[in-house]
Amino acid sequence: MKGKQLRIPVSAPLLGKKELEYVTNAVKANWISSKGKYVSEFEEKFSRYCGAKYGIATSSGTTALHLALASLDIGKNDEVIIPAFTMIATANAVTYTGAKPILVDSEPYTWNMDVEKILEKITKKTKAIIVVHTYGHPVDMDTICDIAGDHGLKVIEDAAEAHGAEYKGIKVGGIGDVGCFSFYANKIVTTGEGGMIVTNDEKIAEKARILRAHAFSEDRHFWHRFIGFNYRMSNLQAAIGVAQMEKIEELVELRRRNAEKYNFLLKKVEGISLPPEAIWAKSVYWMYSILIEGNFGMNRDTLMEELEKGGIETRTFFYPINIQPIYAKYYGNENYPVASELSRKGINLPSGATLKEEDIKYVVDQIVRARESI
């Protein structure tokens, strides 16, 4: 099998008859823009699932983050604390506002932001903390909320990878002031592209709805008191989202069952660190993520090349924000050793809802074969 003729993708969406039915309904009703009924239905279903009062659908997870920050009036000369180890969208959303991302290293247990290192990064300019529930594992939210409360800061949960994840029995997204989700095609719930803000704060929700759609005034349509955005979700996308919500528990459990099977088969393979799950957490394993340690016998990149030969698609972990070319000039002299180690060792294996048990066995067999070939 040639490496580029992939047999097992990293993550493919699980779509069915309901998704097609609801999209067809939207087309037949001639409501394909953001005004259709499925948008509000999706907002209501998803926010309720997260334990939040309000949901504001957006065009992507990135625009959800930007819209959340804008709705909190964060802008030039402000600072927002974020993890150094995250997808670049987290940093970009802060940069869009004119504020400065302030980086914090990860801790090695859950791979999330090291909450013990946040205090040293807080200044008079700090306005918010963005936590990222990395690869579907929740952050220690009690500590985050305590720090934020003591310093008058807002908490934004970047839960793009964590639909259905729980912190001490509470679903993420509705714990902080604002939660932001992505519905990209590889996410647990998908609308192809799309995002969502959830919040229990009526004022934040109201501001986000205004800014999402060009900030049209209620009294005069083409009259604008704020700089708004075109961050709306279409009725077609929301129709898929409504159908996905009807099976969200199944989609979450598929990820968790996949992780259980991987864990069972990989636990005795020397040189592999399995993904974490704290006793207070319910991880949803958006990606089944492992670390390739020195005693595995080959490095992460070589293993990825070997798996590609077998038709297995993989992904590296995120690169830390401080070494990204666009940000290195600002943070190049800063050191985040845990984030760097995660980035160097980490590999995301096929993780999607369409994954079959025989696929998982095949992936593990290929990992073992690669190790034994050394």
**pLDDT band of 5, cuts 50, 70, 90:** low
Helix, strand, or coil (residue 11): coil
Strands 154-158 and 178-182: parallel
Residue 198, token pair as written in the block: 């959830």
pLDDT in tens, 118-139: 999 999 999 999 999 999 999 9
Residue 374's pLDDT is: 79
The residues spanned by each domain of the chain are 17-245, 248-372
Task: Give the whole-angstrom CA distance, residue 90 versus residue 231.
Answer: 17
Burial 333-352 (b: 16+ CB within 10 A, else e): eeebebbbbbbbbbbbbbbb
Task: Give yes or no for residue 320 having a pLDDT over 70.
Answer: yes
pLDDT in tens, 20-68: 999 999 999 999 999 999 999 999 999 999 999 999 999 999 999 999 9
Task: Give yes or no for residue 1 having a pLDDT over 80.
Answer: no
**pLDDT band of 219, cuts 50, 70, 90:** confident
Task: Give the whole-angstrom CA distance, residue 17 versus residue 116.
Answer: 47
What CATH number should be reported for the domain whose range is 248-372? Answer: 3.90.1150.10
With contact defined as beta carbons under 8 Å apart, do 248 and 189 qualify?
A: yes
Long-range contacts (CB closer than 8 Å, 24 or more residues apart) made by 244-249: 244/19, 244/183, 244/189, 244/190, 244/191, 245/42, 245/45, 245/46, 245/49, 245/189, 246/18, 247/14, 247/16, 248/49, 248/163, 248/164, 248/188, 248/189, 249/164
Where does 72-140 have alpha helices with state H?
88-97
Average pLDDT, the chain: 96
Partners of 55 in the beta sheet?
A: 198
Determine the residue type at 80. Answer: V
Spatial CA neighbour of 177 closest among 62, 46, 69: 69
Q: Which of the pair, 254 or 2, is modelled with greater confidence? A: 254
| CATH architecture of the domain with residue range 17-245 | 3-Layer(aba) Sandwich (3.40)
Burial 156-185 (b: 16+ CB within 10 A, else e): bbbbbbbbbbbbeeebbbbbbbbbbbbbbe
Helix, strand, or coil (residue 106): strand
Residue 198 main-chain phi, psi, to 5 deg = -125, 145
pLDDT in tens, 233-252: 999 999 999 999 999 999 99
Residue 171, token pair as written in the block: 């679903």
